[in-house]
Amino acid sequence: MQPEDIVRSGPNQYICKEGILKELDSLLSPFQAPAIITGNKSFEAYTKYVASIPEHWKIIQHAGYSSQQAIEELAPSCGAADVIIGIGGGIILDTAKAVADKLNIEVVLIPTVAGTCAASTPLSVIYSPDGEFERVAYHRRSSYLTVVDPAFLIHTPIDYLKSGIGDTLTKWYEAEAIIRNANDERAHSLFVQAALSQSVFIRDILLKDSIKAVQSSEAGKVTPSFTKTVEAVITLAGTVGGFGGRYGRMSGSHAIHNGLSFVEETHTILHGQKVAYGILVQLALENRIDEIEALLPYYQQLGFPTNLADLHIVDNQAIALQKVAEHAVNPKESLQLMGSYRADEVIAAMNVLESITTSKSV
């Protein structure tokens, strides 16, 4: 049985509470030798918020992608650690999970931005050292503990929150497309249908509360809409794939994202922003133009990319389209979970999107 066919609902323990990060030491009392894997900016923000960390906690800072090379280099640096604490965004958390898996020890995950569901999933997206997508690695353990502190996250960069909203909105579009196009009975099983229902619940939270959440973040004030949106992005989003397995994970929009990772101009654009663009391409690929039209005002409010120029792809657009499309239709890519497509069909869908969005000046 493949890892993506096993139901894994989420973290073993989960806490969302204002100020909870200041209690982390007591939460980790069962462990003797924690090692922190973090980024420079992430750790700076974290230590500013909590004031201090125990002296015996080892601190390892990582500045690159969650690559296999990084994992191999970081694991020995952890020494005799009995738990890894990941403190950062999605790349750092994916790296921490992979290192913990390699060392066969527990992992605690502390998101410093509401950018992805990485803090709640037992997998890591593995890139090359240059940032090109390679594969998804599934791990033996879910997180021992995932900690979400809205009072900390309210002061983190708004662009990451918007990115998280885009990455989470796609849960419905990708799961629905996979399940609708599946030809086997498992797609109608209890937990797959639970995943689909959860994706609807999440989509509706975002459409109702996410713009208010961004406004709350801009004001620096924790509100119910902010907390709902943060929990939807970080934790609930992970349950879609956890319940649904291969039927609730990545499909069309992430395949487009992964293809974009081979276009250098897009490397400065956050993951969820590119995934949000991928939703529109996925809809165009299925000729669901009315749904694109319905989403565009929402995209405009959040500043999501809707065309190549928004993705910083201005020159050599034809070459970029070819790169994205050829990767997206790779037999090992997730687009295959929602149907069989050719590269020219993906290019045509992206061009349809260009004609819609550039004419509207969105």
Domain ranges of the chain: 3-154, 250-361
> Taking Cα atoms as reference points, which of 120, 150, 138 lies closest to residue 21?
150
Average pLDDT over residues 255-271: 93
CA dist list (Å): 183 to 170, 172, 188, 254:
22, 19, 10, 21
Binding site annotation covers 121? yes
In the CATH scheme, what architecture does the domain 250-361 have? Answer: Up-down Bundle (1.20)
Per-residue pLDDT of 121-179, as tens digits, reads 999 999 999 988 899 999 999 999 999 999 999 998 999 999 999 999 999 999 999 99
Per residue in 41-51, pLDDT (tens digit) is 999 999 999 98
Higher pLDDT, 360 or 263: 263
Does 123 carry a binding-site annotation? yes
Q: Is the pLDDT of residue 358 over 70?
A: yes
Q: Is 93 annotated as belonging to a binding site?
A: yes
* 3-state secondary structure (DSSP) of residue 147: strand
Query: Does 3-154 match 250-361 in CATH topology?
Result: no
Tell me how far apart the alpha carbons of residues 268 and 270 are, in angstroms, rounded to a whole number. 6
Residue 254 marked as a ligand binder: yes
Task: Name the CATH architecture for the domain at 3-154.
Answer: 3-Layer(aba) Sandwich (3.40)
- pTM of the shown model: 0.89
Sign for the CA dihedral angle at 173, 177, 180, 185 comes to negative
Residues 6+ away with beta carbon under 8 Å from 357 = 280, 296, 306, 307
- Asked if residue 156 belongs to a known ligand binding site, the reply is no
